[in-house]
Structure 1
Amino acid sequence: MQSSIAMPPLNERAQRILKVLIEEYIQDGQPVGSRTLAKRSGLDLSSATIRNVMADLEEMGYIHSPHTSAGRVPTSHGYRFFVDTLVQVKPLEAFYIQQLQGRLSTQLDAHSLVQSASSMLSMITSLTGVVTLPRRQPALIKQIEFVRLSTHQVLVVLVLERNEVQNRIIQVDQPFTTTELHQAASFLNEYLTGKTLHQAREVLLQAMNQDREAMNALMLSAIELGEKAFDQAETESREDCVIAGETNLMSYDDLSDVSKLRDLFGAFTKKRELLSLLDKSIQADGVQIFIGREAGLEVFDDCSLVTAPYSLEDEHIGVLGVIGPKRMPYERVIPIVDLTAKLLSMAMQRD
């Protein structure tokens, strides 16, 4: 899990009261008072004694009093201590285990598996599910072919290692004959075979910046065709993620502010910052939890993210998780995320 900031130590009584306070707040979303804690804590303490403990917890930064309420709510530091020390993970219900196993064992391709994992995370937790697409070792180019479709359209056929074939259509400014396209492909194959898509595009960009007067027409045509093809190929292969259940967050009072929701949905749409955050988890072992500002993004200040990496052949290739309010039921969410990551890893082996 995410490493915590050093906080003042708590004795057993204070830990018990903090645990009950956070559990009550997660369940009801209302500030918790001393009377409730006296009833629910199981400790033979008066309300006055509990108020003194609460005052100490507040002074140490674990809880705070919202507005003029007599009750208290957890701070981000309180949640961090809770998930690191106090939370008791609950076994996942058999019904949900069967659902996850079913949805993550019958799909045929990686993208479908990712979509299923994201939607299942959202459905089971009633939060927002997010799964990054698999990040595999870049494939090397084996062969390039161009096929004339019309005056200004050319089909690019990229044959990569692992017998992967990618087809895409590019628009060209000038017409090419079949012979010219064959010659251009031969020229590119000579220089780009064995390179990754990114490396190929870099080679072509460098060539385009050289003295064009020293190049013959074939070289210019080949470089221009290749630049169009690999620019599109690299754009399509960039890391992305699948997000499901964004509107689930609208049902939580903690995130009901319109401006907060607008900023969150904006982050989901752009994805760039979210992907950067998820990248922090790809090398982690097991579940990671980011609470509020730990995420490093202002838009997630009122949220928690519970993530875990998934793997292929013992190598982490992606991250999945859920996003929700800080008062999410961690004891239930943690095993859901953990199991989904393990099942997705198993399904990827079969893909």
Structure 2
Amino acid sequence: MEERARLLLKTLIEHYIADGQPVGSRTLSKASGLELSAATIRNVMADLEDLGLITSPHTSAGRVPTPRGYRMFVDAMLTAQTSKQPDLLPQTLQQHIDTAPPQQVMARAAQLMSSLSQFVGVVLAPQRSAAFRHIEFLRLSEHRILLIIVSPEGDVQNRMLHWPHALSQSELNTATNYLNAHFSGMSFEQVAQKLGSEVEHLRSELVALMQAGVQAGSLALQQPQDQVVISGQQQLLGIGDLAGNLDKLRQLFDLFEQKAQLLKLMDASAKAEGVRIYIGGESEAVPFEELSVITAPYAANGKVVGTLGVIGPTRMAYDRMIQIVDITAKLVGNALSQW
């Protein structure tokens, strides 16, 4: 594609993203800064239409981008300064994630992206590991013990143990320290296999307590969890490109309700590096032509554990969405790595 065609396509898409109206030759002539006649611009637009990059709505002489046009725009013409805009996230919002316990980080991240983008925020939560990073017994009363399990991803689970033998906090600390010193990072199944042969020197009550704790911890991490956290679905009701089509809105809300397609998309994104942009209509990844999805993986302690992203109309400010998703992924990774 020659340079003037690229510039006109870029100008058309930026103009359409800004005001949502089909862009005509006169507008392009003024906005592009090219000294071209209206006839020349119309010829270039006809060529772009033949290439499938723009199309003409029936009700207007102007043109709008197609999914293929958006793809060329984001791949070859967009210059997004990812994570280099310190004012993008107010300090209070950053702290909103930084200070959250692991169980709340996902929900807060989804809410943050929805608030900043005015679209839908989605987070694929880390899959729970069968292992533990830290385990602790706390004496609540003579026969009640609180079991605290921290997974390698920072997920915290609490379980109550009703114990027939009275144990002091000092004895509970002995069990806690032994498990963490010898078995941290192992799966509960591995720990259960080793406990029987490696703790003969400890009191039988403590061995039984550790075995009960390992069993309870294993059951706790097997509990189902909401893998896809979504915030801001109602934002779609205010998007002009979608609000007028009730059938389409029902399909979109079914997508969020069932989550299977979202889970597949977000899971695939976890295997990619950096920010990815999926534009509806160009593949099966996003089943709706009117939607685009911007995703990025997030890592805890240097290991990718999940993905997050923004879902909105194809007519979105892609450079800003890329920044929102990129920075939020870094914030979530930092928050999880602190635990």
Give the shorter-chain TM-score range.
Answer: 0.7 to 0.9
Pick closer, same or farther for the CA change 1:99–1:45 going to 2, 3 Å: farther
What residue is the counterpart of 1:287 in the other structure?
Answer: 275
| Structure 1: stretches of 5+ with no match in the other structure | 1-9, 144-156, 170-177, 179-193, 201-225
Shift, 1:59, TM fit:
0.3
Q: Are 1:16 and 2:3 matched, yes or no?
A: no
- One-letter amino acid matched to 2:95: G
- Counterpart residue type for residue 23 of structure 1: E
Please say if 1:271 is aligned against 2:263.
Answer: no
Cα offset for 1:105? 1.5
Which aligned runs of 4 or more in structure 1 are off by greater than 4 angstroms?
140-143, 157-166, 194-197, 229-233
Question: What is the aligned-residue identity percentage?
Answer: 44
Distance in structure 1 (CA, Å) of the matches to 2:85 and 2:309: 16
The code of the aligned residue for 1:330 comes to Y
SS in 2 for 1:305: strand
Which of the residues 109, 114, 117 maps onto 1:125?
Answer: 117
Q: Where in structure 2 are the equivalents of 1:45-124 lying within 5 Å?
A: 45-89=36-80, 92=85, 94=87, 96-107=89-100, 109-124=101-116
The match for 2:338 is: 350
Deviation of residue 293 (structure 1)? 3.0
Q: 1:195 to 1:340 in 2, by over 3 A?
A: closer
Measure how far apart 1:278 and its partner are.
Answer: 0.3
Alpha-carbon deviation of 1:314?
1.4
8 Å contact from structure 2 (residues 242, 248) kept in 1 = yes
SS at structure 2 position matched to 1:280 = helix
Counterparts of 1:142 and 1:39, CA distance in 2? 64
1:64-83 deviation line (CA, Å, top 9, x unaligned): 11114211110101000000
Contact 1:87/1:331 (<8 A) preserved? yes
CA contact (8 A) 1:65 1:71 kept: yes
Alignment of 1:168-207 (within 5 A): none
Distance (whole Å) between structure 1 residues aligned to residue 134 and residue 117 of structure 2: 44
Is the CA contact (8 Å cut-off) linking 2:79 and 2:319 kept in structure 1? yes
Counterpart for residue 26 of structure 2: 35
1:272-314 Cα deviation digits (max 9, x unpaired): 2211110011121110000003462564321000000100121
Q: CA RMSD in A?
A: 3.3
Following superposition, the deviation at residue 331 of structure 1 comes to 1.3
Amino acid at match of 1:32: V
Give the TM-score taking structure 2 as reference length.
0.73
Question: What secondary structure sits across from 1:104 in the alignment?
Answer: helix
Whether contact under 8 Å (2:53, 2:66) holds in the other structure is: yes
Say if 1:349 and 1:254 are closer, same or farther in 2 by CA, change over 3 A: same
Task: Look up the match of 1:182.
Answer: none
TM-superposed CA distance for 1:93, in Å, is 6.0
State the one-letter code of the partner of 2:309: G
Whether 1:300 and 2:293 are equivalent positions in the alignment is no
| Mapped partners of 1:161, 1:93: distance in 2 | 32
Contact 1:110 1:134 in 2 (8 A): no
Distance 1:119 1:78, change over 3 A: same
TM-score after normalising by structure 1:
0.71
Aligned residues of 2:127 and 2:227 also touching (Cα < 8 A) = no
Cα separation, 2, equivalents of 1:80 and 1:168: 53
Residues 46 and 141 (structure 1), Cα distance of their counterparts in 2 relative to 1, 3 Å cut: closer
5+ long unaligned stretches in structure 2? 136-146, 165-185, 193-214
Greater displacement, 294-303 / 262-271: 294-303
1:172 maps to what in 2? none
The corresponding residue for 1:167 is 159
Q: Displacement of 1:167 after TM fit?
A: 3.2
1:165 Cα offset (Å): 5.2
Give 1:332's match in structure 2, choosing from 320, 335, 339: 320
For residues 68 and 220 of structure 2, what CA distance do their matches in structure 1 show? 45
Matched, 1:313 2:301: yes
Give the residue type in structure 2 aligned to 1:84.
D
